[in-house]
Amino acid sequence: MTTARELIGRPAIVSAYLAPVLLIGGTVVAGAMSPGYDPVRQTISELAAGDAPTRVLMTVFFVLTGLCHLVTVTFARGIGVSGRIAFLIGALATLGVAAFPLPSVAGSSATHTAFAMIGFIFLAAWPLLGMRFHAAFPWLVRPAGSIIGTAILTVICVWFLIIWSSHSSPEVGLVERVAADAESLWPAVVATALFRRARLL
């Protein structure tokens, strides 16, 4: 029989809610502190670039977001093992984005891009990979909810990839934020579902 403790630990609830606050709030604060920065046209990574005035601040927000994901994946035991592994990879990729920033606001980095893409892919895939089938689990981690979660995140991320690869879209920053924010929010949605189900056990 599944127990409340097997579904989710309290640290995961806190970290799942804190991650989007840090990421979304961090980009807003860092963007406001960067003269001339355009959040619609410019990417989040540019706020942590080597010559950006908010390099340290945005890097800290990246690191804290990644650490929150690590806590969530550790204590959200209601997510299937494969999904937790995918979530772990996404969390580590977030830390990789912080460790290997863009060299400059106008520059590029293959390593940074690789970590960013890995993060987007695995943070979209984990709901599907973490699918559960037993009725003791909330519907968001059972087949329908898992498929819907990954489908939504995948569509948004593919949209961003198309925009980003065009190299000429004036909305690349906005679309990236939609994708990154959605991926930071979904763990909180799942954590809420697991917590509510745990209270009934």
Percentage of residues of the chain with pLDDT beyond 90 = 87
Rounded-to-5 percentages of helix, strand, coil across the chain: 75, 0, 25
Q: Please give the structure tokens belonging to residue 111.
A: 């390593």
- Which residues, 6+ apart, have CB-to-CB distance to 55 below 8 Å? 47, 48, 49, 101
The distance in angstroms from the start CA to the end CA of the chain is: 10
CA distance 130 to 123: 11
This prediction's pTM: 0.93
Question: Is residue 53 very low, low, confident or very high in pLDDT (cuts 50, 70, 90)?
Answer: very high
Residue 4: is its pLDDT beyond 70? no
Residue 189, phi-psi category: left (phi > 0), alpha (psi -120 to 50), beta (remainder):
alpha
Token pair 């204590």 in the structure block, residue = 75
What is the CA 148 to chain-centroid distance, rounded? 17
Question: What local confidence, expressed as pLDDT, does residue 199 receive?
Answer: 83
Question: What local confidence, expressed as pLDDT, does residue 1 receive?
Answer: 41
